[in-house]
Amino acid sequence: MKHSELKEKALKRKDVKAEYKALEPEFTILYELLHARQKAGLSQAEIAERMGTKAPAITRLESSLSSGKHSPSIATIKKYADVLDCHLEIRIIANN
């Protein structure tokens, strides 16, 4: 079974779909961070050096967003974005 088929099948379950939807903000932030880092052509080690930290901290930051085990602070995400010459934009959008 292909990943896309498995995902489609799993998302037919209401409980799985609810959990998937709940993680959407974290996955969106992770995608944006990774995309910006890739576009800048920087490694985790280079990001870490520019942020004044160590590479494992950047690995934890990026992996925490996909695992949902830890939510990094807005200040940390902003610092990461600043290193990439990007800005952080947060919006709250009504569900109507």
Q: Looking at the domain assignment, is residue 20 inside a domain?
A: yes
Crossing angle for the helix pair 55-67 and 44-51, to the nearest 10 degrees? 110
Distance CA 32, CA 86 (A): 10
Looking up residue 31, the CATH number of its domain turns out to be 1.10.260
pTM over 0.85: no
Q: Looking at the domain assignment, is residue 78 inside a domain?
A: yes
Predicted confidence at residue 35, as pLDDT, reads: 94
Q: What is the pLDDT of residues 2-16, one digit of tens each?
A: 888 888 888 899 998
Q: Which residues contact 53 (CB under 8 A, 6 or more apart)?
A: none
Distance CA 16, CA 21 (A): 9
Predicted confidence at residue 93, as pLDDT, reads: 86
Q: What is the pLDDT of residues 70-80, one digit of tens each?
A: 778 899 999 99
Q: Looking at the domain assignment, is residue 5 inside a domain?
A: no
Predicted confidence at residue 21, as pLDDT, reads: 86
Q: Looking at the domain assignment, is residue 28 inside a domain?
A: yes
Q: Looking at the domain assignment, is residue 45 inside a domain?
A: yes
Q: Which domain holds residue 51?
A: 14-83
Q: Looking at the domain assignment, is residue 30 inside a domain?
A: yes
Distance CA 30, CA 61 (A): 9
Distance CA 24, CA 60 (A): 19
Q: Looking at the domain assignment, is residue 3 inside a domain?
A: no
Distance CA 67, CA 27 (A): 9
Q: What are the residue ranges in the chain where pLDDT is below 70?
A: 68
Q: Looking at the domain assignment, is residue 70 inside a domain?
A: yes
Q: How many domains does the chain have?
A: 1
